[in-house]
Structure 1
Amino acid sequence: MQLTKHGHAAVVLSEGDRRLLLDPGAFTEESAWEGVGAVLITHEHFDHLDVERTKRALADDPALELWTNRSVADQLDAGRQVHVVGHGDAFTAVGFDVAVQGERHAVIHPDIPTIANIGFLVEGSVFHPGDALTVPEGGGVQTLLLPLHAPWSKTGELIDYVRAVQPARSYAVHDGLLNDTGLMVGANFLGEGGPGVPGEYVRLAPGESVTL
């Protein structure tokens, strides 16, 4: 399986001609959509969901399918192409086995209502938590897509999260608002300069790929 990083929170998982796109939001470049057969969206925030671009993709390709939670599905209004799922559900998307883990977005502030957020565990080994620090049930995560920077997180929580998940490797996502200095600081704390996390921490540049 190949992992390709795209803008901010978006990644593509591919194998052969099968391409699965996760969380293509407003900061995601157009190339991420090329050849995609299925889409997974964790929640409704604009940096994870570009409503108009997603509607256009669904209209342009009647075979394209999308899995997400109810609040996102209601905004897309795309009929049978959109499947509503929640914590504990499992399905197959373009040949990839996917399990849904998690229910709520992380708390930004007590005065800001939390929204639905679901994470996706692909092939039992690659986990995209969306905007939450969900620890998948049953373990076994080899590749964690780690939300590096957000208004709801702090570095110490990320360190503890990686320790709880115990992945073989963590790849940074949710990093589109950081400049080079911020990226360096994050890499330092999650790498050799920090207190220690299991596995390897890596940040791919947008468009860069790695074989898992």
Structure 2
Amino acid sequence: MRITKFGHACVRIEHDGAVVVLDPGVFTDAEAVEGATAVLITHEHPDHYHPDHLRACDAPVFTIDAVAARLREDAPDVAERLTVVAPDDQFDVGVPVRAVGELHAVIHDDYPRFHNSGYLLTVDGTTVFHPGDALTVPDTAVDLLLAPASAPWLKLSEAVDFVRAVGAPRSLAIHDRVYSEVGLGMVEQHMGNLLGDSQEFVRLADGADL
């Protein structure tokens, strides 16, 4: 298995011929979707969903109904290879996937709640969880958490508590364009201080493999 961190919330997972790309948004270079065999989108916000990236490949797209509605307007040609998933749906994209959760984290009480689906992938015996923009804890053990590090809806204590609650032995920082390099360094330091020896928090540059 090869896991590559791309811009912001995008991660590419390659295993046994499958190339699964999660959340290639506007902060992600188009190379992330080159050769993709499936693309998974957690929700409709542009830092996770960018129709030009979906047009740049011919992979099937798996996402929730809210994104599907946007995609039918933004890129009806891509909508022809769209599969809509709902909470707890299980499907196969070359590796088994289960949809987890339903709602985006609260940004502000004055905003309506957006829909969001995390994805739990089982890759070569390793369980990988991408939560999208939510702090939904799966009901199963996770080996690698793709952990949001910065967001308008997230503060450090919540990020730490989410990593603790999921309990994965390793977490890879994603959703990292909101903070400066100094801010991200502070997140990394606090994660190291607060998680303990049983949990590792890793931060990678864009394009680097885990």
**Equivalent runs, 1:24-173 vs 2, <5 Å:** 24-54=24-54, 56-57=55-56, 61=58, 64-77=59-72, 78-93=78-93, 95-123=94-122, 125-137=127-139, 139-173=140-174
1:161 Cα deviation from its structure 2 partner: 0.9
**TM-score, normalised with respect to structure 1:** 0.91
1:80 Cα deviation from its structure 2 partner: 4.1
1:21 Cα deviation from its structure 2 partner: 0.2
Unaligned 5+ residue runs, structure 1? none
1:18 Cα deviation from its structure 2 partner: 1.9
Cα-Cα RMSD: 1.5
Unaligned 5+ residue runs, structure 2? 73-77
Q: Distance in 2 between matches of 1:76 and 1:29?
A: 20
Q: Distance in 2 between matches of 1:197 and 1:176?
A: 27
1:197 Cα deviation from its structure 2 partner: 7.5
CA contact (8 A) 1:162 1:198 kept: no
The number of equivalent residue pairs is 202
The one-letter code matched in structure 1 to 2:69 is: D
Q: Distance in 1 between matches of 2:203 and 2:104?
A: 23
CA contact (8 A) 1:163 1:198 kept: no
Q: What SS does structure 2 have at the residue aligned with 1:13? A: strand
Q: Distance in 1 between matches of 2:187 and 2:79?
A: 41
CA contact (8 A) 2:30 2:56 kept: no
Match of 1:185 in 2: 186
1:198 Cα deviation from its structure 2 partner: 4.3
Match of 2:201 in 1: 201
1:28 Cα deviation from its structure 2 partner: 0.2
CA contact (8 A) 1:190 1:201 kept: yes
CA contact (8 A) 1:44 1:71 kept: yes
Q: Distance in 1 between matches of 2:161 and 2:198?
A: 10
Q: What SS does structure 2 have at the residue aligned with 1:109? A: coil
1:162 Cα deviation from its structure 2 partner: 1.2
1:19 aligns with 2:15: no
The one-letter code matched in structure 1 to 2:14 is: S
1:53 Cα deviation from its structure 2 partner: 3.0
